[in-house]
Amino acid sequence: MRLKDFYLELSILFNYFQSFSLLFARFALAYGFYEPALTKWNNFDTTIEWFSSLGVPFASLATLLTASIEIMGVVLLVLGLFTRLITMPLMIIMLVASITVHLSNGFSVANNGFEIPLYYFLFLSILASHGAGKFSLDFLIFGRER
């Protein structure tokens, strides 16, 4: 019973860091999506060719969609606005990226494997299910999350 009491006390203490952990994860994801998003916008035509060489259907439309979702993801994740809604399309992008590009390279990030898109997918699924935490516009606009 001592152990149980100790663990419950610890849980109450550590619970205070929930919103911080979600905030930091949001910032890290936004930073991670920033470069690929800008690369896609700056080299729009090259990205379309690359997408069609990967066998992605409707390559121009897919490029436009992916680039806009990623840019929106960067902005919305930083603000914590519509967090649950934007995580869904971002998760789909990570899934498609893993399958079309990274899966054949194995797991390790050193071989451009699916390690990093997998971590992004997991962060996004945590944000989708837990929300953005208290340090977010979602919390200000939509009220108490929990």
* List of residues contacting other proteins (CB under 8 A): 4, 7-8, 10-11, 14-18, 20-22, 24-25, 28, 82, 84-85, 109-110, 115-116, 118-119, 122-123, 125-126, 128-131, 138, 141-142, 145
Give the shortest CB-74-to-other proteins separation in angstroms: 16
Give the shortest CB-84-to-other proteins separation in angstroms: 5
Q: What is the DSSP letter of 14?
A: H
Give the shortest CB-72-to-other proteins separation in angstroms: 16
By beta-carbon proximity to other proteins, the closer residue of 53 and 129 is 129
| CB hemisphere CA count around 9 (13 angstroms) | 6
The answer to whether residues 132 and 86 touch, using CB atoms and an 8 Å cutoff, is no
The answer to whether residues 70 and 37 touch, using CB atoms and an 8 Å cutoff, is yes
By beta-carbon proximity to other proteins, the closer residue of 96 and 145 is 145
The answer to whether residues 73 and 86 touch, using CB atoms and an 8 Å cutoff, is yes
18-42 helix and 59-79 helix, angle to the nearest 10 degrees = 150
